[in-house]
Structure 1
């Protein structure tokens, strides 16, 4: 992990405190040495906590910082050895086994010498730290605790998920004006078949925002059936660039790797009027070498829109140029308001405007600066005193590390807690062109130990909150196509993050030479490596590495020697290295005894692996996967009509049966050879091709094999017809099963219950997710009368199980807090869940008709359930949210078709009238229904009874807000005269 010093010291201090109280420490006879080191650390921690705010933005790295950080890494290593050897003493009732540790300055040649040398090492670290302490700044009186301990640094009312954190893109009036001028010009027919337009401006000034507004404008989509967006900042090769456009236009690339063939495909793909956006273009070479001739000679007319910092690029492409200038004060204030709280009423804004304008002025008309400062203000709430604290923050006057980065970005970074700083810095270890997968990212944070459990939540839940918080602060941006992926919001933010961790991380692209100036690099990322490292890593550098990630670097053999010598490696991530031409020998991993996190995606090409996971006492996070089916093959099938697909599939079944059997046997063999250690806490099994799960994850002794397993994810195990007896996992808290296509029923075998067993199935399970189980029809939770099932389950998600006929009857005994059911197209009713309390979320359940007997439910969300006609027995309901997408034209009620543009259905009227405790009603709908809820409309008599109402149109442009007690009535959706 890209360690933030004060957080790193606190983790080491906590680890030392814990170890000092363990029997292993006493068995080694080093209690006094450990407590002496602990006392020194506590003094240093107080100084560092006070200095971190000042030091983090200093252009100069103090020598003592490097020395303290190196000492923390040494302490981390020493503790690992102590825990291993101490555990051996306690287990054997005798002295430790002699062992050589290559990363220490001593060799362990016997029990007594081991105790002497480990004690000497601890005392030596203590002595060096006390010498460093003399060089550190003095701690002012009364400054023993940092601000981090006093303030909850998370946004108030933290969003539950990243989709909630994704606010609609807010733009200032200048952007709206620019769109109003540019779009008509781009629609106007010219003499050229392909006209080029350019948005030119300084870095971070809002070029991409303007381009995105044009790209999403209804007039553009109506006139240009093909719209493609290409991010040019991602170092695309010419072939990847062409493939991106072809796929974006909806065509199939196939397996073509020839530029001339791709150019032909490009001309064919752009067969209709097209809009092509090239965002952040730095050179006209793409235009000159690839697009000018191939598109200019075509039959179809189109528009190319580029954004660039270099006006010469636009000029050389003979583009119509639009310059983007800094935002004026009023536009900056409007953007700030929208980013902080788009629903803030005018009275609240009036009290904040004077200080808000001053904050916006400090952002110097820079949209990126305004957005990141809005992220801070959002965490403070609409309090004038808090806003004034941000305005007067001394970080505005600190000397920046990079002059091109707006001062507001530094203010935003300094405002983060130490844990959030580490999470953000870690994101910069990923190459810019690769999206960061949310699930993998939060697991990495947990594996590195930087996530603190909040409010007795699961670590995974706390890590998700970290992720959402970074999105809320506009430091991470979810991918527009999927909330499961994200990017660092802007390359200026990435530049700052890379600068802040430059002293301990290396990122190498292609055959770029290794930076050997770092004597002790801790993190190494290799991207697009085709051969071995051009500049070899010295033995000293290898020994200090803590994390290694490979991206698009299929020649794994190039780093075999590195893996053998990097004995301190904690994190090995080969998740993006899934195109290796050769099988890899997993036994090469056996030397990595300090691993905490291991991620491998190509087990089907492994040649052996019997000892790969042996001697891994600290391994807690394990992600194992085979290759997923080739995307291009899927595209080929999608392009065929149904008859051709059936013929192709039949031919493959007859010709490929033997190959399939061989593949299945090979898959089962390699997986069965692997035996994860008992230390595993998080396990992911993905793309397993066997018909039976590996022997180590099934059977009556499953609980003994995984005594510490907390999180389990079974994904794309498509051939397995039965699930393992996962109810035997006594510590399991979170379970996700997805794409188990062959599972038809889930019964007692899943719980692991037998007549002779009285154990409680899933005794600690809190979160259960069943996703994309296409054939699942029945699910039973039947147990003996004396048994309790799922006693701790709080959250249940069932998504895209289209054949599931009913929820299990045993669910009525479970004290659920949240239930989410989506895409269950055979489910007709949800009833008799007397203990469901917090939220029921229903989405796209095509035949759902009845909801009844949920007496404790407080919040109900219904999204596109068009057959619903009966809702009753929700006596405790306080919050109701309904979403009706534009495609929903009619709803069914008592065999009559009720047009929502006319009135609410009867079930909704009755629900509003009977639920006396209903406090908040939210509705997303068409404009006609929205207007029917206004004063004088057909539904006003129902709406006015509810204390708080918020209604928004499907396109997000029209709204209605009503608060009965505060006498708020605001709308921009009045009927047009």
Structure 2
């Protein structure tokens, strides 16, 4: 089957089979009338899964009819998964709320009472049967089309265990060898010196600048040639000249003037952002930025400029009017951009073959003599020659070859792959939309395991140059079922291994801050592959994942959300009207980061399949009591929000694994209930609270059963827990062997009184922290 469907087959079908099997195990009235259709669906899925395991894959680039069938098949899988998981959730909520299904059956109330979002006066059992029947009929029709199109190649797979382009072998060095943007490309020393000469050549400067104080230099070259990496090398090496007045700003593809100036100003005024509140007009932004830039000389890097609609007028005058001897370094794919700005240009050439070969050997962890002894040197040289002297391609292909067996068959399968011959039609709309996608990068994508393919493509939901927080990306993958569950290993660990694997293969980059991002050309590749399902601002009928991040006018795209609401599985936005919550019930991931809402509507309960909810940096003050209906929720991130209370209903979210509370300065009360969340893996802040009116506050004893916590944990308000801790040996921390750091705050809530050293020592002894800690602070 074609490649994209193969990735779906490995993940979605497996997840769907698990859901269907679980549903059949529940002996409740809800599924009695649907059981035959559910069993029929199970047999279809098992047959399809077996067929996919026994056939060869088609090439990466399928014809349009195949792609249409792929889309239909994925739609059927997604719809079935939505329906089955919805009913599984109904059953679990019924068991929790009624104590058992038997008591619920005796009540004989319409199933609508379980959740106000479901259609009134409809029998759940019959509706489930009808919905699964429609799915079966749709799959029957697709199967007929597949047979007529020979969509599934019936040729058995080779039994050698090798992938489509040769075998994968374990390499013990691979797990510790990271090739990221922080490692300079080989062979760019001459280019670095030439750019530095342009930056600091005073004779050219005086003739070009006239009365203006800022000189501009550009690095120009095609995608993947190393512009950004070269700029980073220069950025690091100019600390002596500019000190802390060095700033780096990524420019989006079509920047809004005001937004870009705000972005630059935030970087320039980092640490005093609150002073910028209210500075929103173009004129005010220019005035404030001019004031900052004129203080002393600086280096400003504007990375990845595509066009110049934002340049000129006030913006140009502001950036050029800084202190004397200041520099602006830009990178762009286009000579016209450099000429339009009036920059001194360095056109970055392709690497020579010798430079490419040296980089390839370094990344692939091979020695030239080693390749020659296996008769692979000539093949390797032909592969490097096809990389076209582009460092990004050499890196990704070198990482690919690091995983291959040292056999001629394995290396020939890469060198002779038909993917090298592909090029996007110049006249197609995709050509301008997705930039310069390079065959060598597609080759590396093609070699990824199915789970990593899906994880890589998912990253395109973020805008270009966006720095993605590693832990949250991992939890989003988990929410979508992209991470295989391994016995004896937390899914978070597996997800982080997937991130490491993609870094090792040079498919994503690790930043110096520990976040991850996609190179812009790899972002083009991921967007091209996921173009039907992933959308920024302009959803279509096929959109399953929608991002409104970095959209200048989010109002217009919000009008289109309702058109695809019944399909969406991911939504990133800064605001969401309450009426939309009732229409997006299939969401697994919802990010409202930085939203201005102070409270979620009760209709949040309609999102019964939601697994990831990000409210960080938002104005959110309260959570509704209906939050407890989010049975499937795994991640709730309230970090740096204005949340004031954590309600007791949180204690009913038994699947919660990540609760982000760090930086919540307004948080004054956490209700009793956290102790029930025994699946929690991440809880960086545990706040002990006094009772509030008729509500019990979070107490120290709730730590007892939270033995799956990992990483660092801060326990605050210990001063008010003296009696509870000192009533014998509490030993509340002894079994928390996965923690790496503990911090204790011995103040009492709403009181500046701090326990003395003797009391602190006694409490620590009673709590008995684990011996495995790397840090212990109080």
Range class of TM-score, shorter chain: 0.7 to 0.9
Say whether residues 1:610 and 2:622 are aligned partners. Answer: no
What is the distance in 1 between the residues matched to 2:325 and 2:723? 63
Q: CA deviation at 1:375?
A: 2.3
2:249 to 230, 237, 242: 230
Equivalent residue for 1:65, pick from 70, 95, 98: 70
Residues 359 and 33 from structure 1, CA distance in 2 versus in 1: closer, same or farther, beyond 3 angstroms? same
Looking at structure 1, the residues matched to 51 and 15 of structure 2 have their Cα atoms a distance apart, in angstroms, of: 15
Deviations 1:550-595 (CA, angstroms, capped at 9, x unpaired)? 1xx3x432xx222212222222221x233x1x53343131222222
Is the radius of gyration larger for structure 1 or structure 2?
1
The alignment partner of 1:683 has SS state of strand
Corresponding position: 1:336 with 2:360: yes
The 1:774/1:119 distance shift into structure 2, 3 A limit, reads: closer
* Structure 1 Cα separation of the partners of residues 501 and 235 of structure 2: 28
Name the SS of the counterpart of 1:159 in structure 2: helix
C-alpha RMSD over aligned residues: 4.4
**Larger helix proportion, structure 1 or 2?**
2
2:151 aligned partner: 137
Structure 1 CA distance for aligned equivalents of residues 268 and 638 of structure 2? 34
Q: How many residues align?
A: 719
SS in 2 for 1:713: coil
Whole-Å separation in 1 of the counterparts to 2:769 and 2:717: 28
CA contact (8 A) 2:290 2:321 kept: no
1:119-168 superposed Cα distances (whole Å, 9 cap, x missing partner): 645654554454345345244243399867997788645537xx966475
Cα distance per residue 1:336-361 (max 9 Å; x no partner) = 223334xx667547656443322211
182, 193, 201: which one aligns with 1:180: 193
Query: Could you report, residue by residue, the CA deviation over 1:637-666 in whole angstroms, capped at 9, with x for unpaired residues?
Result: xxxxxxxxxxxxxxxxxxxxxxxxxxxxx8
Counterpart of 2:82 in structure 1 is 77
Query: Structure 1 pair 108/83, CA: closer, same or farther in 2 (3 Å)?
Result: farther
Aligned pairs for 1:927-946 (under 5 A) are none
Give deviations 1:362-402, integer Å, cap 9, x for gaps.
Answer: 11112221121122123348777754543344543456686
Write the distance in 2 (CA, Å) between the matches of 1:305 and 1:167.
18
Alignment of 1:729-748 (within 5 A): 729=705, 732-738=707-713
Distance 1:211 1:153 in 2: 36
Q: Where does 1:149-548 land on structure 2 (aligned, <5 Å)?
A: 156-157=172-173, 159=175, 166=180, 168-173=182-187, 175-190=188-203, 191=206, 192=209, 193-217=213-237, 220-225=238-243, 226-233=245-252, 236-246=255-265, 248-249=267-268, 252=272, 254-255=275-276, 256-270=279-293, 271-284=295-308, 288-290=312-314, 292-294=316-318, 296=320, 300-341=324-365, 347-348=369-370, 351=373, 353-380=377-404, 387-397=411-421, 404-432=436-464, 434-454=466-486, 456-480=488-512, 482-483=513-514, 485-489=515-519, 491-508=520-537, 514-515=538-539, 518-527=540-549, 528=551, 532-533=555-556, 536-537=559-560, 541-548=564-571
Q: Which stretches of structure 1, 4 residues or more, deviate above 6 A after TM superposition? A: 101-108, 148-155, 381-385, 718-723, 744-748, 753-757, 804-815
What secondary structure sits across from 2:306 in the alignment? Answer: coil
Shift of 1:493: 1.4
- Relative CO higher for 1 or 2, CA cutoff 8 Å, sep ≥ 6? 2
1:725 match: secondary structure:
helix
Q: Give the structure-1-normalised TM-score.
A: 0.64
CA distance in 2, matches of 1:683, 1:547: 19
Question: For residues 374 and 724 of structure 1, do their structure 2 counterparts lie closer, same or farther at Cα, with a shift above 3 Å needed?
Answer: farther
Give the match's secondary structure for 1:622: strand
Q: Which runs of 5+ in 2 are unaligned?
A: 691-696, 748-759
CA distance in 2, matches of 1:250, 1:197: 23
Verify: 1:91 aligned to 2:101, yes or no: yes
The question of whether the paired residues in 1 share the 8 Å contact of 2:688 and 2:698 is answered with no
| Distance of aligned partners of 1:69 and 1:185 in 2 relative to their CA distance in 1, 3 Å threshold | closer
After TM superposition, give the deviation of residue 424 of structure 1 in Å: 0.9
The Cα shift of 1:67 comes to 2.1
Are residues 1:667 and 2:667 paired?
no
Shift, 1:507, TM fit: 1.4
TM-score normalized with structure 2 length = 0.79
Return the alpha-carbon distance in structure 2 between the equivalents of residues 729 and 498 of structure 1: 43
Cα pair 1:205 1:368 within 8 Å, conserved: yes
